[in-house]
Amino acid sequence: MSSFVEVTPVSGPVRGSIRPPGSKSLSNRAMIVAALASGSSRLTGVLDSVDTRVMATALQKLGIETNVDFEQKVIEVSGAGGNVPEKSAELWCENSGTSIRFLTAFCSIGNGEYRLDGNERMRERPIAPLIDSLVQAGIDAKCELENGCPPVMLRTSGLSTDRLEVSASMSSQYLSGLLMISPAAKKNLVLSVTGELVSRPYIDMTLALMRSFGAIVDEPNPAEFHIQAGGYVGQDYDIEPDASAASYFFAVAAITGGSVTVEGLHRNALQGDVRFVDALVQMGCEAEWGENSITLTGRELRGIDIDMNEISDTAQTLACVAPFASGPTRIRNIAHNRLKETDRITAVVHELKRAGIAAEEHEDGMTISPSLPQPCTIQTYDDHRMAMSFALLGLKAPGIRIADPDCTSKTYPEYFEALESLCKGSR
């Protein structure tokens, strides 16, 4: 384990193709829905990373038979038909937002006592809106430290309400968690969102996955969901490659004037983050949307003004493309990024400045101006996306070191090897 990695610059355009590992968001959703289903499910193309391991282990602890073969990227789940077999469990969620939010919802349909906790940063990431909804539903749910964050304690005998409200202005994951458990509730349920809903494409992803496993959901308006009770049926389900991970490789093409094909993704992918490609097109790149691949070709880059609320996991990637554009780039409407693995606005601006790049922090985002990166060691704040995005700077300028590269294990343990193998022909 080294404390930093130094990225070697490329000397010309990077050309190549790559298939990123399975989507974290789809892997963790598919495990939850398969666990709720009647019958067994075979999930293929799943991601092997800390976040998916945390989810699989938690389901096993809850008594769901979950057979994991990460070598083959396969997980077989014997669904418990909407029951939670174990009456009591302590679940460790590290810093996986999807895991703790989806599992808190999952445990609420059980019959017993459950405690969910995570690492130091997870204990700073809000979960109160989800807890408030469960309390509304008559469940004895609380944040143990009374600060709106994990650890979470639940005493429950199931979900039997027919109406529920949730606030999703800090994270869409509270709503996704409640949506996924709803078909397993005792009655049909009307779930409404109060206030703003961030990261909307993740809700569409949740609904699509639920429907693939047989759920019936109506959406009379964008803030209301009518979910029929009746459960899920186990399926064989193939997970798409991770579109957020793909953003780094599209960015490689953009900043080197090269051409990179990402296999396994397309315009209608379930992951909203494929729209990162549109942001690069807005900056001047060309995209070719294939049936099962996307090719991005880098051209002269211009600065843009962009709302990234719906694709906020790719904001750090864009922030590391922006220095190479001809004018400033303004990223807007991502205040919720302050609540993720680290404060992803302050941290990004701080590290861009460390590399000598002109950047300004705003409450809802940042502005980055054209600059040549200077040698430095980028701090990554235990945030996989800090490491993966700032590595891009090192392809364009010498002396860029990335501290704690192993933090990519949250979603992409082999990231630096994959980046190296894509770029090595251009050195």
Ligand X SMILES: O=C(O)C1=C[C@@H](OP(=O)(O)O)[C@@H](O)[C@H](O)C1
Ligand Y SMILES: C=C(OP(=O)(O)O)C(=O)O
Q: Is 3 annotated as a binding residue?
A: no
CB of 358 to ligand X, least distance (A): 27
Check: CB of residue 252 under 8 Å from CB of residue 260. Answer: yes
Place of tokens 């996991």: 313
Q: Is 97 annotated as a binding residue?
A: yes
Q: Which is nearer to ligand X, 49 or 312 (CB)?
A: 312
If binding is defined by CB under 6 A, does position 408 make contact with ligand X? no
388/396 Cα distance (integer angstroms): 15
Task: Name residue 247's beta-bridge partners.
Answer: none
Catalytic residue among 48, 313, 383, 404: 313
Check: CB of residue 28 under 8 Å from CB of residue 99. Answer: yes
If binding is defined by CB under 6 A, does position 336 make contact with ligand X? yes
Check: CB of residue 111 under 8 Å from CB of residue 87. Answer: yes
Q: Is 61 annotated as a binding residue?
A: no
Q: Give the count of beta carbons closer than 10 Å to the beta carbon of residue 95.
A: 25
Binding test (CB under 6 A) with ligand Y, winner from 411, 416, 418, 422: 411
- For residue 330, what are the CA distances in angstroms to 48, 333, 346, 372, 392? 34, 10, 15, 18, 19
If binding is defined by CB under 6 A, does position 199 make contact with ligand X? yes
- For residue 166, what are the CA distances in angstroms to 150, 173, 224, 248? 18, 11, 10, 33
Binding test (CB under 6 A) with ligand X, winner from 25, 41, 167, 261: 25
What would the two tokens of residue 193 be? Answer: 């969102």
Q: Where are the beta strands (DSSP E) in 118-240?
A: 140-143, 152-156, 163-168, 189-197, 217-221, 224-227, 236-238
Q: Is 73 annotated as a binding residue?
A: no
Q: Is 171 annotated as a binding residue?
A: yes
- 385 contact, one of ligand Y, ligand X, none, CB 5-8 Å limit per kind: ligand Y
Q: Where are the beta strands (DSSP E) in 169-271?
A: 189-197, 217-221, 224-227, 236-238, 259-263
If binding is defined by CB under 6 A, does position 385 make contact with ligand Y? yes
CB of 98 to ligand Y, least distance (A): 4
Q: Is 42 annotated as a binding residue?
A: no
What would the two tokens of residue 112 be? Answer: 């017993």
Region near ligand X per CB under 6 A, out of 198-206, 217-225, 250-258, 350-358: 198-206
Q: Which is nearer to ligand Y, 73 or 385 (CB)?
A: 385
Q: Which is nearer to ligand Y, 73 or 384 (CB)?
A: 384
User: What length does the chain have?
Assistant: 427
CB of 380 to ligand X, least distance (A): 16
- Cα–chain-centroid distance for residue 240? 13
Site string for ligand X, 156-195 (x = CB under 6 A): ---------------xxx--x-------------------
CB of 105 to ligand Y, least distance (A): 14
**Number of residues located near ligand X, criterion CB under 6 A:** 13
Region near ligand Y per CB under 6 A, out of 93-101, 102-110, 227-235, 277-285: 93-101
Binding test (CB under 6 A) with ligand X, winner from 33, 36, 50, 198: 198
List the one residue out of 117, 15, 140, 133 whose CA is nearest residue 58. Answer: 117
- 324 contact, one of ligand X, ligand Y, none, CB 5-8 Å limit per kind: none
CB of 57 to ligand X, least distance (A): 18
Q: Give the count of beta carbons closer than 10 Å to the beta carbon of residue 85.
A: 14
If binding is defined by CB under 6 A, does position 312 make contact with ligand X? yes
Binding test (CB under 6 A) with ligand Y, winner from 340, 366, 368, 405: 340
**Helix intervals (H) in 198-295:** 201-212, 243-256, 276-282
Strand 305-307 versus strand 329-332 pairing type: parallel
313 is catalytic: yes
- 96 contact, one of ligand X, ligand Y, none, CB 5-8 Å limit per kind: ligand Y
Across 16-33, b (16+ Cβ under 10 Å) vs e yields bebbbbbbbbbbbbbbbb
CB of 8 to ligand Y, least distance (A): 26
If binding is defined by CB under 6 A, does position 98 make contact with ligand X? yes
Q: Is 343 annotated as a binding residue?
A: no
Place of tokens 């700077």: 393
Site string for ligand X, 201-220 (x = CB under 6 A): -x------------------
69 membership: H or E segment, kind and range? strand 65-69
Q: Output the known binding site.
A: 24-25, 29, 97, 125, 171-173, 199, 313, 340, 344, 385, 410
Per CB under 6 A, residues contacting ligand Y are 95-98, 313, 340-341, 385, 411
Q: Output the known binding site for phosphoenolpyruvate.
A: 24, 97, 125, 173, 344, 385, 410
The residues annotated with a catalytic role in the active site are 313
Per CB under 6 A, residues contacting ligand X are 25, 97-98, 171-173, 176, 198-199, 202, 312-313, 336
